[in-house]
Amino acid sequence: EAQVTQNPRYLITVTGKKLTVTCSQNMNHEYMSWYRQDPGLGLRQIYYSMNVEVTDKGDVPEGYKVSRKEKRNFPLILESPSPNQTSLYFCASSLRPRGGPAGTDTQYFGPGTRLTVL
Amino acid sequence: ILNVEQSPQSLHVQEGDSTNFTCSFPSSNFYALHWYRWETAKSPEALFVMTLNGDEKKKGRISATLNTKEGYSYLYIKGSQPEDSATYLCAPTFDGTASKLTFGTGTRLQVTL
């Protein structure tokens, strides 16, 4: 089954304790992104990657790191989590458009990771 | 950060009612507009993607239109059903080289019997 998986789905941690949220897709997609969702705000992009070893900052990258060593995986790393990073996180992937209009690739979202930082 | 607005913020309708909501976005540097449906405790799922001014898309009872010149899109649901209850997100992209969507805050629709 084509899907985007995230782990863990729920995590409660304490300030300063490094953590990694994994994201994996089995659709051979080039593009992958991380978003956070907070009440009253839309999904905000943290980082995105256009291909292996190619990553770039989204709108809210502070406090996060990512890596893209393999096409299928795009982990999100919080080196020193803080309470303001308590949020619902989504990973998404999409296929680079081939011949079609730019920006039309459909993003497929993972199930989400609810993170609480105490 | 580009401003994408959706209205209303929430909507409560009865089964069988038809409804519509709006997504407004800056019209310059526009490439495409995506609509997503997000049910509680699930992940967002794609409904439509539109690019051209005047585009109309339809999927069952749900349809959408696009006006790129004035920067808005409407989503219509005909004969709402309880299973249509969800948050509907719009996301234009202003970057044609990567999947960099700017999401609105969504319209939360609740359909009751």
Summarize the confidence of residues A76-97 as an average pLDDT: 94
**pLDDT over threshold 80, residue B100:** no
> What pLDDT does A34 receive?
96
Summarize the confidence of residues A93-108 as an average pLDDT: 79
Closest Cα in chain B to A55? B98
**CB nearest to B98's CB, from A50, A104, A106:** A50
**Residue with tokens 């839309």, as numbered in its chain:** A42
Determine whether the interchain pair B44/A56 forms a contact, defined as Cβ–Cβ distance below 8 Å: no
Determine whether the interchain pair B46/A59 forms a contact, defined as Cβ–Cβ distance below 8 Å: no
Determine whether the interchain pair B100/A42 forms a contact, defined as Cβ–Cβ distance below 8 Å: no
> What pLDDT does B98 receive?
55
Q: What is the pLDDT of residues B13-25, one digit of tens each?
A: 999 999 999 999 9
A29 pLDDT band (50/70/90 cuts)? very high
**pLDDT over threshold 60, residue A83:** yes
Determine whether the interchain pair B98/A48 forms a contact, defined as Cβ–Cβ distance below 8 Å: yes
Summarize the confidence of residues B71-75 as an average pLDDT: 97
Determine whether the interchain pair B44/A110 forms a contact, defined as Cβ–Cβ distance below 8 Å: no
B97 pLDDT band (50/70/90 cuts)? low
Among B98, B107, B83, residue whose Cα is nearest residue B24 = B107
Which residues of A fall within a CB distance of 8 Å from B31?
A: 101-104
B10-14 and B107-112 beta bridge pairing: parallel
Among B60, B9, B110, B101, residue whose Cα is nearest residue A90 = B101
- A104–B contact, CB cutoff 8 A: yes
**pLDDT over threshold 70, residue B99:** no
> What pLDDT does A105 receive?
83
- A27–B contact, CB cutoff 8 A: no
> What pLDDT does B101 receive?
85
- A107–B contact, CB cutoff 8 A: yes
Summarize the confidence of residues B53-57 as an average pLDDT: 94
Closest Cα in chain A to B46? A106
Q: Label residue B97 exposed, middle or buried (CB < 10 Å: 0-12, 13-18, 19+).
A: exposed
Site from A45, A46, A51, A96 to mutate, B interface, most B CB atoms within 10 angstroms: A45
> Greater confidence, B30 or A101?
B30
**pLDDT over threshold 60, residue A50:** yes
* Contact yes or no for B48/B59 (Cβ under 8 A): yes
Q: Quick count: other Cβ atoms within 10 Å of Cβ B78?
A: 14
> What pLDDT does B95 receive?
74
Mean pLDDT, chain B, rounded, equals 92
Which residues of A fall within a CB distance of 8 Å from B57?
A: none
Q: What is the pLDDT of residues A56-73, one digit of tens each?
A: 999 999 999 999 999 999
